[in-house]
């Protein structure tokens, strides 16, 4: 885990932490066509969020323990 976090990645992880989000909602809300804004990819690559499939509900995105630690380290928990 990186010692410093991109502010947008931090915002993204905080948004996910409020409640598990449907994968489709995450992609629709955080989509970007700018190759320099890789918020979703950065959060996944750093292990801050993960996707999981819940039978009868679909794919959701949740914050991992590393993501929760990141939020606590930045007083956003």
Residue 18 has pLDDT above 90, yes or no: yes
Residue 70 has pLDDT above 90, yes or no: yes
Pairing mode, strands 21-22 and 49-54: unpaired
pLDDT of residue 48: 97
Q: What is the pTM of this model?
A: 0.85
Structurally, what CATH architecture does the domain formed by 7-73 represent? Orthogonal Bundle (1.10)
Which residues are registered as beta bridge partners of 21? 61
Angle of CA points 69, 8, 61, to nearest 5°: 60
Residue 14 has pLDDT above 50, yes or no: yes
Rounded-to-integer distance, Cα 61 and Cα 54, Å: 11
Residue 37 has pLDDT above 50, yes or no: yes
């Amino acid at each position: 885990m990186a010692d410093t976090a991109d502010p947008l990645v931090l915002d993204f992880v905080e948004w996910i932490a409020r409640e598990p989000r449907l994968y489709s909602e995450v992609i629709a809300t955080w989509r970007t066509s700018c190759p320099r804004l890789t918020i979703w990819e950065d959060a996944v690559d750093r292990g801050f969020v993960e996707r999981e499939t819940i039978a009868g509900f679909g794919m959701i995105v949740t914050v991992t323990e590393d993501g929760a630690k990141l939020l606590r380290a930045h007083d956003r928990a």
